[in-house]
């Protein structure tokens, strides 16, 4: 969701030839991508500007997008559970309430990458994931070796709102 090969006008995240800021790091520009034989994205190649440590551009150029990132070599793998609305009002069935349960009421993302500091959280501790929402470490399944975070409040996604107004 932070990268598109052919982005629309108001997409301020990473795309070929576009520059973004990495939070607490440098500005980078996507130079090329690598895909598999089915056209699935495998790698994104970027060039960084060593003069932009901390995100400032000494020449004053405007960099619109800022991405949160995690170093692959330092990241800790874990699980994220995204809880949404339990009932789907479009599928509401007065006779069988089980048919009204939204299939998207729980989305589990295994092999999520976390900053190492999140692994030391104890069960039941709360944290905000940038642009995603507020999460709590699971009281039963969370361990330092395999962190599990449950979303408790989502944030509004302005990009999703723009996409709904102007589908490509």
What CATH number corresponds to the domain at position 29? 2.40.240.10
What's the number of domains the chain is made of? 2
Strand partners, 28: 20, 48
What 3-state class would DSSP assign to 52?
A: helix
**Would you write out the chain's pLDDT as a tens digit for each of its 168 residues?**
789 999 988 888 999 999 999 988 999 999 999 999 999 999 999 999 999 998 789 998 999 899 988 888 999 999 999 988 787 776 665 566 677 777 888 999 999 999 999 989 999 999 999 888 999 999 999 999 999 999 999 887 655 555 566 665
Q: What is the pLDDT of residue 71?
A: 86
- Examine the domain organization and report whether 144 and 82 are in the same domain: yes
Cα(145)–Cα(116) distance, rounded to whole angstroms? 10
Domain that holds residue 82: 76-160
DSSP string, 54-121: GG--TT-----EEE----TTT-EEEEEEEE--SB-GGG--SS-GGGGB-TTSEEEEEEEEE-GGGGGP
Q: What is the pLDDT of residue 92?
A: 62
- Examine the domain organization and report whether 80 and 156 are in the same domain: yes
14 is a domain residue: no
**Tokens 């102007």, residue?**
166
- Examine the domain organization and report whether 81 and 145 are in the same domain: yes
- Examine the domain organization and report whether 156 and 85 are in the same domain: yes
Note if the pTM is more than 0.75: no
Residue 68: phi and psi, rounded to 5, are: -85, 140
- Examine the domain organization and report whether 60 and 91 are in the same domain: no
- Examine the domain organization and report whether 56 and 88 are in the same domain: no
Q: What is the pLDDT of residue 95?
A: 66
């Amino acid at each position: 969701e932070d990268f598109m090969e052919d982005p629309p006008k108001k997409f301020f995240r990473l795309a070929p030839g576009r520059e973004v800021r990495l939070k607490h790091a440098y500005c980078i520009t996507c130079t090329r991508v690598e895909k598999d034989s089915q056209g699935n994205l495998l790698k994104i190649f970027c060039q960084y500007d060593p003069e932009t440590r901390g995100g400032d551009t000494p020449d004053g150029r405007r960099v619109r997008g800022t991405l949160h990132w995690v170093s692959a070599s330092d990241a800790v793998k874990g699980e994220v559970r995204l809880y949404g609305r339990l009932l789907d009002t479009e599928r509401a069935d007065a006779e069988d309430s089980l048919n009204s349960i939204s299939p998207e009421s729980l989305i589990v993302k295994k092999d999520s990458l976390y900053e190492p500091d999140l692994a030391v959280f104890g069960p039941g501790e709360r944290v905000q994931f940038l642009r995603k929402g507020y999460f709590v470490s699971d009281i039963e399944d969370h361990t330092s070796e395999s962190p599990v975070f449950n979303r408790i409040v989502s944030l509004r996604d302005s990009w999703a709102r723009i996409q709904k107004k102007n589908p490509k």
